[in-house]
Amino acid sequence: MKVFKFGGASVKDHHGVINLFKIIKLLKVENTLIVVSAMGKTTNAFEKVVNAYFNDLDQISFFIDEIKKMHFKLIENLFKDIDEELKSKLGKIFYELNNFISSNKNMNYSYVYDQIVSNGELLSTIIIHNYLKNNGLKNSWLDSRICIKTDSYFRDSNLDWTETEKKINTHVDKNSITVTQGFIGSDSKNNTTTLGREGSDYSAAIFAYALNAKSVTIWKDVPGVLNGDPRIFRDLILLNKISYREAIELAFYGASVIHPKTLQPLQRKEIPLFVKSFEDPLKEGTSVSKGISINPNVPCYILKSNQVLLKMSSKDFSFIVEENISEIFSLLHKYQMKVELIQNSAISFSVCVNNKYGRLEELNSVLKLKYKLKVYNNVELYTIRHFNKESIKLLNNFKGKKILEQRTEKIYQVVKA
């Protein structure tokens, strides 16, 4: 089998769905699992529903209706005669969503987030499955929540590999085309869970690993893996080949084109990953596999925005030693902070974190009891892998005051406020 993954940008409207079908036909695809994200900005739209659920219930119907209108308008553009069964399937999703909103008693934000936002992937895959079928391409639809089994760490769930492999090999037809969702799974109580934002790439890798797939292809709105995000950096270069190790390093530091968890299962079974353009599907794009580290060998630029820099120092000028650092990391774990960078000296310790779960104030209140604490909100963390003098000079041209700088043999990082 092969695994194809289409992201939200590739199916953002009816033209994108038609293009997906053309790619499948052009490449004469068979025996393939197609993993699809929510369409366009649907995840953002469902996040507005989540926020309204907690903060402004009067607005919630408006946001849901906007999503519904968008998807029904899309099927009007795709189908000459809209199948009543398709309308019924989409309507059922919105019915169950409204039923959840009116009956839910669990007010844990992350739990509610996963139950609501996951509907984007269900909507997109039902539409695409039906469009392919309507155009003569036989395929089956699979609810990936049956297969992707996780713990109950909502919004960033951890995979139960043993159970997931068993379910995938039970439910996936290896001799046909199957359309399924990225990003979503379920826990032992069948509550919907998600694998973290942009987790559809990871879903594709999970399926590929369990199925011993020949390859995984991620279809993007860029020609492959570039040495920076084209929305931020200019004059970028296409990376033709990257090793698993190099790709994992880039993903770890925040390269947005590949999800950080995607590479690990692929590397274990040496399943090649291709990143290609859905606008130019016959171009080679980027291949990620065993072998050459990076070709061409150029600086790679990464930006992580909306970070928080915490600078701690001892109140009595005593050294910050292993015991202190262990305690700090224990607190970072407790308050669900993802660590992006650390730096320490004899009496100070700095850490750049992602406050994804909104627990910064809780953490700070504990840290202040023992340390002098300075907090920098909404900072930007720039990373250059394979840096040189020219690449550092380029970053210096970006606005913001430099408040922390760090470099190793291959990595240069700077935090700007």
Q: Environment class of residue 307 by beta-carbon count within 10 Å: exposed (0-12), middle (13-18) or buried (19+)?
A: buried
User: Do the Cβ atoms of 310 and 345 come closer than 8 Å?
Assistant: no
Give the type of residue at 248: I
Per-residue pLDDT of the chain (417 residues; tens, 9 = 90+): 999 999 999 999 999 999 999 999 999 999 999 999 999 999 999 999 999 999 999 999 999 999 999 999 999 999 988 788 999 999 999 999 999 999 999 999 999 999 999 999 999 999 999 999 999 999 999 999 999 999 999 999 999 999 999 999 999 999 999 999 999 999 999 999 999 877 999 999 999 999 999 999 999 988 999 999 998 999 999 999 999 999 989 988 888 768 778 999 999 999 999 999 999 999 999 999 998 899 999 999 999 999 999 999 999 889 999 999 999 999 999 999 999 999 999 999 999 999 999 999 999 999 999 999 999 999 999 999 999 999 999 998 899 999 999 999 999 999 999
**pTM for this one?**
0.87
Strands (E), 264-358: 273-277, 286-289, 294-295, 300-314, 338-344, 348-354
Separation between Cα atoms, residue 285 and residue 225, nearest integer Å = 7
Rounded CA gap, 79 and 76, in Å? 6
Reported as half-sphere exposure (CB side, CA atoms, 13 A), residue 361 has a value of 1
3-class SS letters over 44-62 = HHHHHHHHHHHHCHHHHHH
Pick from 160, 268, 143: nearest CA to 209: 268
